[in-house]
Amino acid sequence: AAFALAESRDDALVTFGVVPDSPATGFGYLELGSPLPGGGHVVSTFREKPSLPVASDFLAAGPSRYLWNSGMFVWKASTLLRAVDAFVPESAPVLREMGAAYGTPAWDALARDAWPTLAKLSIDYGVMEPASTSPDFTVAALPLEARWLDVGSWPAYGEALGADDDGNMVGAARAVLHASRGNVVASSDPSHLVTLVGCEGLVVVHTPSATLVMPAAEAQRVKELHARVVDVAPELA
């Protein structure tokens, strides 16, 4: 249905929405408007990551009103390029040049030199949100008919790993957890041993250059830590 919608309309920018199963505060939401022929709804508003009470209201309203924003899209290349021209005009010429060079000997140098000059915008902020209020485009959402897990946080990464009998989710070559429940442990160093004693609901992440320890419930606050980390260790920026 998503491909048919994108192919049938020259103004359609289609996104997949995920049916919420909890009042998640770590995702953006799609507020749905009028239904479209052939399935899906117009996206009337992109909602930022909400507070828990607001997310609870979204969940109660049901999937005909609100979906999680998956960040997965379907569109004609020509429609997307028109949207880029309209909403990110300062980057459009470079993007077109990079597109023409893809797969040619000129690509590597162009990507290295031109990419840093582009506006630092996500496709959501740069194109989809302004398109949703433009009379020249229709932003449409269809429910994603597949299992979806957004591994954008450490607890979500733990869910992807699966849990042991104590609810611990371990992605480390060497780890010993004693009298501990519901923790997420990750390590990229196969020679490093991570140990926990009497811990519950923690996220412990070890890399050769940094170690992170936090309650899983605070996982969405990692971005608050970033500026302070960069002050101390600018090489991690």
pLDDT > 80? residue 149: no
> Helix and strand tally (H, E) in the chain?
9, 11
Distance CA(102)–CA(95), nearest Å, equals 11
Q: Is 1 within 8 Å of 39 (Cβ atoms)? A: yes
Task: Quote the domain boundaries for residue 109.
Answer: 1-148
* Mean pLDDT (the chain, rounded): 92
Distance CA(150)–CA(135), nearest Å, equals 31
One domain for residues 41 and 135? yes
Strand duo 175-178 + 194-197: pairing: parallel
- Quick one: what percent of the chain has pLDDT higher than 90? 70
Q: Is 42 within 8 Å of 34 (Cβ atoms)? A: yes
**How confident is the model over 165-201, as pLDDT tens digits?**
999 999 999 999 999 999 999 999 999 999 999 999 9
One domain for residues 117 and 209? no
One domain for residues 74 and 19? yes
The owner of tokens 């290295």 is: 112
Residue 158, token pair as written in the block? 């733990």
pLDDT > 90? residue 49: no
One domain for residues 101 and 204? no
One domain for residues 178 and 139? no
One domain for residues 138 and 81? yes
Q: Is 203 within 8 Å of 183 (Cβ atoms)? A: yes
Domain boundary residue, one of 99, 119, 148:
148
One domain for residues 118 and 166? no
Domain boundary residue, one of 132, 148, 164:
148
Q: How many domains does the chain have?
A: 2
One domain for residues 140 and 165? no
pLDDT band at 45 (very low <50, low <70, confident <90, very high): very high
One domain for residues 75 and 132? yes
Distance CA(19)–CA(5), nearest Å, equals 20
Domain boundary residue, one of 87, 121, 148:
148
One domain for residues 41 and 137? yes
- At residue 184, the pLDDT reads 97
pLDDT band at 17 (very low <50, low <70, confident <90, very high): very high
CATH at 52: 3.90.550.10
Residue 198's closest CA among 183, 180, 216? 180
Distance CA(150)–CA(27), nearest Å, equals 9
The amino acid that residue 227 corresponds to is A
One domain for residues 144 and 158? no
**pTM score of the predicted model:** 0.70
Q: Is residue 59 helix, strand or coil?
A: helix
One domain for residues 127 and 183? no
Pick left, alpha or beta for residue 122 (phi over 0 → left; psi -120 to 50 → alpha; otherwise beta): beta
pLDDT band at 24 (very low <50, low <70, confident <90, very high): confident
Q: Is residue 203 helix, strand or coil?
A: strand
Helix or strand run (H / E) with residue 101: helix 92-101
| CA 130 vs CA 18, 93, 122, 203: distances in Å | 21, 19, 12, 37
